[in-house]
A and B are shown apart, each in its own frame.
Chain A
Amino acid sequence: MAEVILKPTGNFDLTVEAEVVTPDNFAGKSAQDIGKLLVWQGPKQFPISDFFEVRGNGGSSAQDTTIVIDGDVIRVKRIGEGMTAGKIQVKGSTGMHTGAAMIGGEILVEGNTDSWPGMEMKGGLLHITGNALDHVGSAYRGSWHGMTGGRIVIDGNAGNQVGGGMSGGEIIVGGNVDNFCGTRMNGGLIAVKGNAIRTVGAEMTGGTLVIGGTIDKFTPGFMQTAVESDLKFNDIECPGEYKKFAGDYAIPQKGKGVLYVSAQNNEDL
């Protein structure tokens, strides 16, 4: 497996749009060729080498290529966008749209990430060890379908609109989430180990949502159907007792979505 190391050196005062940073684009290229690929900063394009020191060559295919970003790239957007195979490891935090629309392969962010990680993602694995801001795996503005496949794992907390309009795939949040988790969700699985604030599963018409912690304000359009214990969705385990709800009956009036809420942490429900 060939490894390309990008060490941030440049001036990131304006954010950089780096959708070219994918194993697909780096495969078959030497360090020099990779350095010449263009990224946008504001209205202008510059070679990658203006922002990163590039070491190592790409592999023969995307699958054989690993990209290691050695440091924080909070001001770099769209890393790994649309990648189909291979691996990206970021030893630090990333900017917006990390792994947006990715199709396959793996991205590991050893830090935090800004909003829109895994937006409309179709496959692959996006693992964020820190926190993520808003719109994890959700739909683009105006769009009806969020992520359709793949898996997003966030070890820390996530912001608003986790899995907005989600149609498939899995999102696992180790910590807490803010508002509108799983809004308009119509497929897939969201498992939150921690707490949620409000509007959980609003307008959902399908899929499964699990909240292991507390919900401050419960969405009114849900009806309890059962109590279940020790949930298991393939390799994802949610131990404990859960109240099972169907919804949302408020606006879509379909009630095909499933919402599990920890019984122990939400006794008043």
Chain B
Amino acid sequence: MAGTIAIKNGHVFDPLNEIKGDRMDIYIRNGKVVTELSAAELKDAKEIDASGKTVMPGGVDSHSHVAGAKVNVGRMMRPEDHYKFYQKKTPLTHSGCGYSVPSVYLGGYEYSKMGYTTVFEAAVPPMEARHTHEEMRSTPMIDMGGYLVLGNNWFLMRYLKEGDIEKAAAYIAWMMRTHKTYGIKCVNPAGVENWGWGENVNSLDQANIHFEVTPEDIIKGLAELNEMLGFSMPVHLHANNLGHPGCWEITRDSLKIPKSVKAKPKDPNVEWAETKVNPKRHESVYLTHCQFNAFGGTSWRDFESGVKGITDYVNSHEHVVMDSGCVPFGDATVMTGDGPAIHDLYVLTGSKWSNTDVECECGSGVLPFTYLKSNPVHSVQWAMGLEVLLYVKDAWKSIMTTDSPNGGPFIKYPQVIAWLMSNKARQDTLNECHKWASDRAGLASETREMTLNEIAIVTRANAARTIGLSHSKGTLGIGADGDVAIYDINPAKLEVSDYESIIRAFENAAYTVKGGEVVCQKGEIVAIPEKKTYYTDITVNAEEEKKMIDDVKNWFKYYTIGFSNYPTPEKYLANPTPIKIDAEV
């Protein structure tokens, strides 16, 4: 029976149900987790003996750059990233190549091998949404969705300046539907717009050119609008001054802005899986790739970790959740909607680079980068990425990412997990690093070792909960999607000092189950599952929407694209899965 499976005797980690390694069976029928299977169903079901193995919900990556215009630019400008790292086609799989920016097919396979089943593209420029969806549609193995870049959008900046909140809300709702995207992304608010004139903004109260809105206005405005509309996920924030020494302060101050905004996710029209922990978010801001936003010092000479300043704030406040942006060393491709940040990196490194101004909407930049253990700044960045996760006391406030491929490609996640779980792994790497890693970050004296349960939180449960997907993802509760990762780790016999075995286990999941079907086994793809594309379908007051559309149509004469060619129709999505929300605005 398709999508029906029995996973027996595994050590199950399901943080949303407070299951921490108990030996139990997981039953899946027709792609959904169920209490049990009847004798007849059991006979037909595939049975997996998971005894001595770790069983977790399928991995969820809430921030990764895997599809769309800038990712493709990264592929085009990096032939050298592709010729050494390739896979031949098999009867089942496509060929593919690319280390830090793999082709879409390879990306899907590689995620699946690590037990991941859901990945969200972190930045979709509105005008590039069609292209992004085309690439997501071609990415096999994983369910996907994308965040719409709105932090420097001309309409929003104008509505926010004029204080026209109703129109702004109508605009966001319309844009989400139009581009079939999932949530609000805000990149270097007010700064990227200035980049069109070769400038940036340096403080939260600095108004940008022409629109005269400040980063504070935009963060506050978007956070309020996000809750007014009741999105499943909080505002996804890439703070100002990213990548500049001393930026941790502006990051902390940015987090203070939505402090008084209460999280009010509306109930979407979905069936919720059974969970013991409240599966809904209570945060109003999601700070992404914290490491890049946590630089201390005043210049590259006195550069140091500023992570503590941010994690102290996160530890004492309820409205913030964040992901780490770890740096696992080696080749990376830096790509972001933050055009000025990439230009600064170009000035610093002299590397080849690409910058784009996406007319009236946002910007972006791409640059190849190599993180070296011998480089003082890189070694501190490595330490900082791990500090972000280890200093946050409650794992439910953090998510593990590498901001792939900015800190490093996602295929390095197993290495990051090993550093989090094993102090010895960290000490061994510290010994190979430039001494700044010990001198200018606190990691050397941090002895915390994350448990498998905490790893399950930061790699799936919390990622799913934060972006409002725990109704079906990141849990093995009854009614959840039958996405399961089974790893060759026996929690009863686990020695974290043998960290190589942790890396091996997480690199190639013993089984990746998607919708109750085994799709990957010990690093080999054995089936190509159906996939879903999530987007948020918000309805608002029709009157307000009409007035807003008039504004948009009027302004479209300045666009190089016709208004009717602007939307992304559903046919660009693989299995479009709207999350319907009635915003009543």
Give chain A's interface residues, CB within 8 Å of chain B: 139-144, 252
Contact = CB atoms under 8 A, between A and B. Distances in A.
Interface in B63-113: 77-81, 83
Q: Is the interface of A mostly helix, strand, loop or mixed?
A: loop
Contacts of B77: 142
Contacts of B83: 140
Contacts of A139: 80
Nearest to B370: A144
Nearest to A252: B350
A160 to B, nearest CB: 18
Contacts, number: 18
A141 B83 CA distance: 10
Interface in B334-359: 350-352
B411 to A, nearest CB: 20
A154 to B, nearest CB: 24
A95 to B, nearest CB: 17
A55 B352 CA distance: 49
Contacts of A140: 79-80, 83
For chain B, the bracket of interface size reads 10 to 19
Q: Is the interface of B mostly helix, strand, loop or mixed?
A: loop
A141 to B, nearest CB: 5
Contacts of B350: 252
Nearest to A145: B80
B68 to A, nearest CB: 21
Interface of B: 77-81, 83, 350-352, 368
A139 B79 CA distance: 11
The 5 closest A-B pairs by CB, nearest first: A143-B80, A142-B79, A142-B80, A141-B79, A140-B80
Contacts of A142: 77-81, 352
Given A140-B79, A142-B81, A142-B352, 15 more contacts: A139-B80, A140-B80, A140-B83, A141-B79, A141-B80, A142-B77, A142-B78, A142-B79, A142-B80, A143-B79, A143-B80, A144-B80, A144-B351, A144-B368, A252-B350
B371 to A, nearest CB: 15
Contacts of B80: 139-144
A143 B99 CA distance: 13
18 contacts: A139-B80, A140-B79, A140-B80, A140-B83, A141-B79, A141-B80, A142-B77, A142-B78, A142-B79, A142-B80, A142-B81, A142-B352, A143-B79, A143-B80, A144-B80, A144-B351, A144-B368, A252-B350
Contacts of B79: 140-143
Interface centre among A139, A142, A143, A144 (most CB of B within 10 A): A142
A247 to B, nearest CB: 15
A141 B350 CA distance: 17
Nearest to A139: B80
Contacts of A143: 79-80
A139 B352 CA distance: 15
A177 B77 CA distance: 28
A142 B77 CA distance: 7
B87 to A, nearest CB: 16
Contacts of A144: 80, 351, 368
A139 B368 CA distance: 15
A142 B368 CA distance: 10
B494 to A, nearest CB: 37
B34 to A, nearest CB: 47
B98 to A, nearest CB: 12
A142 B79 CA distance: 6
A252 B78 CA distance: 21
A143 B82 CA distance: 10
A139 B351 CA distance: 15
Nearest to A254: B350
Contacts of B351: 144
A144 B331 CA distance: 12
A96 B151 CA distance: 50
A263 B320 CA distance: 68
